Structure 1
Amino acid sequence: MVFYFKARPEAGDYTIFMGLDKHENEELIKYGFLEDIWFHVDKMSSAHVYLRLRKGQTIDDISEGNKVNNIDVVYTPWANLKKTASMDVGQVGFHNSKMVRTVRVEKRINEIVNRLNKTKVERKPDLKAEREAVNAAERAERKLHLRDKVSSI
């Protein structure tokens, strides 16, 4: 089960999602998109939360919200997540620690949490099929671009 949330349209109408448990987190790690930004409360057992950016956006285009007081939240692009066979279920590392950012959250803003919870939807997505569909669309776009490039020569 994956939980989906919607940010306010004025915030960019982002999709935010997280797995029900560490096994769902494994699937989200495995089939993430390049546009996904991964969030986790540092040094605490907590959910892996993802924010899906739109094409062309970067990690610099987002702002942070919070759920509890006085915590550090680490975040990095999905492509920077590193998973090895020796890691426990739901555990991740990073390919490049310089790409990992940390934000200190001093005070929980209940208004944000309550608003997000009102948009919560539970789904059982086929993450592998979603990822394959995105890959196929990207391949088709590259082929079209290449075909246009060749025909203009």
Structure 2
Amino acid sequence: MILFVYKPNVRKMVFYFISKISAEPYTIYMGIDKHENEDLIKYGWPEDVWFHVDKVSSAHVYLRLKKGQVIEDIPSEVISDCAQLVKANSIQGNKMNNIQVVYTPWANLKKTGNMAVGQVGFHKQKEVKTVHVEKRINETVNRLNKTKIEKQPDLMQEKEDRDREERNELKQQMNEQRLKERGEIRKRKEEQELRSYKSLFADADMKSNQDGNNSDDFM
């Protein structure tokens, strides 16, 4: 008997798709099976949104947002693309009509030690959204499949690179903020010194007009 041993450090196959249905393209990706899903859960990005058919087994599909975007910014047609893709990659869901697809930010996924491989829960149920899928739309699935690329990415390294870049950007923003604050402090100090300088001369002028040298009396 051959036993399969799950090795988390071995690169897994990941499928990438491009949704071009909206004004700007979006990257969608998913693992080939539940073992790939483990790495996708572990090394997801804060910009990722997770999709899954509700209450039945399906692929884990991720939509990568642009930096600064939130789940409410996703165009409805892109949500539909993700929902169609996750339905098409569900053995049960692909045969059913009128299904529900749930989606939520990656950060809301909860993984505990007692969960089965590929299984996840949620930290906050209120952050889970639902979209109704009436039926499979072959035109949509075929369009997405034409963009499919298979890769074996180093998900851990990509996550580390992304986090390092974010730390560097944050460090630069903090440095720029400190320089701005120092400049504002210096400007206020210069303005205060200028006001004191003007006030000093004003006082001197007032004294010179009151010292008797500018009298209207005649000898």
Whichever residue aligns with residue 76 of structure 1, its letter is T
CA distance, structure 2, for counterparts of residue 93 and residue 119 of structure 1: 30
Matched length: 153
Q: Percent identity?
A: 64
CA distance, structure 1, for counterparts of residue 133 and residue 59 of structure 2: 16
Match of 2:43 in 1: 31
Residue from 97, 108, 127 that aligns with 2:136: 108
CA distance, structure 1, for counterparts of residue 167 and residue 21 of structure 2: 30
Identify unmatched segments of 5+ residues in structure 2. 1-12, 89-93, 183-219
Superposed CA RMSD: 1.1
State the 1:109 CA deviation: 1.5
Identify the structure with the greater strand proportion: 1
Whichever residue aligns with residue 52 of structure 1, its letter is R
Q: Per the alignment, do residues 102 and 9 of structure 1 end up closer, same or farther by CA in structure 2, a change over 3 Å counting?
A: closer
Residue from 19, 32, 50 that aligns with 2:62: 50
| Greater Rg over alpha carbons, structure | 2
Higher RCO (C-alpha under 8 Å, 6+ residues apart): 1
State the 1:9 CA deviation: 5.8
Match of 1:22 in 2: 34
Identify the structure with the greater helix proportion: 2
CA distance, structure 1, for counterparts of residue 101 and residue 45 of structure 2: 21
Secondary structure (helix, strand or coil) at the match of 1:74 reads strand
Identify unmatched segments of 5+ residues in structure 1. none
CA distance, structure 2, for counterparts of residue 5 and residue 61 of structure 1: 19
TM-score (norm 2): 0.68
**Residues 91-141 of structure 1: CA deviation (Å, up to 9, x unaligned):** 000000000011111122111100000000000000000000000000000
TM-score (norm 1): 0.96
